[in-house]
Structure 1
């Protein structure tokens, strides 16, 4: 009998949390995130989201991407590899373009690299200096004024995710006098990571205790992420379907400013 009550309580909490996200007046906590406009809501930013592999944008960054697109910011996505660990790099490139279209990012604003020193793999460490150089080139090419990427743990702990973070930190250190603003996607504990929409309450609690500049962006349309991930057909197997269902990154992202 006890397990029935626990199940009912958990399902109720899940439904209430999902309703909270979908019915919220603002898609950001706190509302009107100043990291996008410095108080000027009319200002549109040139944003570069830097990821390691095709499907990172849908599995981890989709709430951020959807929020930025809905606010009319100019959004670019830089994917530093084709995800060719299983020899499906060419397939995964096309999947990324289709997934980005679902996320309202046109293909001409998506750049996918296939550099010999940036190949997908847990055991393939990436050159931080090379990453810094590539990202700097894209900043100048697209007049980028805001970077978004992984934090030092990289959500899943993947070596390539972490290398992207360290490469961007190197870029920021070497260009400390330039006006480059960068934010990182906060990696959470296992409990929060697989709490689905329930993380809205946990994130709010952590935000109230966090002295650093952190914002949570809510995804009011989680079904869009299922559609985006489904475009990554070569990767859309049972455990990733479960991940998208239970992952808090489907429902919200917490972003923290990268301070050197």
Structure 2
């Protein structure tokens, strides 16, 4: 049985070498295969699933906003968490914590992980799935923020990134049709054999115009989810917007909560 791993929680006081070593340990214990407590197919049509008596999972979107001090420097993170079930919001919580380190590519979880864990502690519902605005296995050491927090909490998780951190698409990702997925393989920048499937470029939305196009999202398994299922989940939970709805709602809530603090 999988167990939570609080001992692997991100620690901003570690050296860079220690952080990278911890990420490799996290990747070694992460599960990049389906190990879910529900059938992901129920996410595609919640009304049909409800009518048939299938229980809807609690899907939690996680996003961050940042607060600045009098000098205009980012010194605190506001972590926003929105829990949904069957497409409906059932709980929203947030936490504000000090930032321990600056932004360093590839070490995002050590900057944002503790704030996120603090926000998750405020949840009264038990999550069945996390969706993060950030990477999972598409990461230099196969341990982006979705993997890191997914392992620490032992909850299935998916990373949804707006840009490609590393890896190589198997095909051109320009001007893709809505619903298209393109595999992302490991390359020399990733601690994995070349060609390892890390995740997918996922085209959740597209303009109906020959003159402009929407870039895909880069979706990867964080923990206890396989790459194909991660892509399917991103598509199933996207509607009128590019971002899957739980992540979009968390992003919106982060701005809302930040505005209340600023005022």
Higher strand share: 2
Do the two structures share a fold, i.e. TM-score over 0.5?
no
Task: Report which of the two has the higher share of helix.
Answer: 1
Range of TM-score over shorter length: 0.3 to 0.5
Q: Which has the higher contact order (CA 8 A, sep 6+)?
A: 1
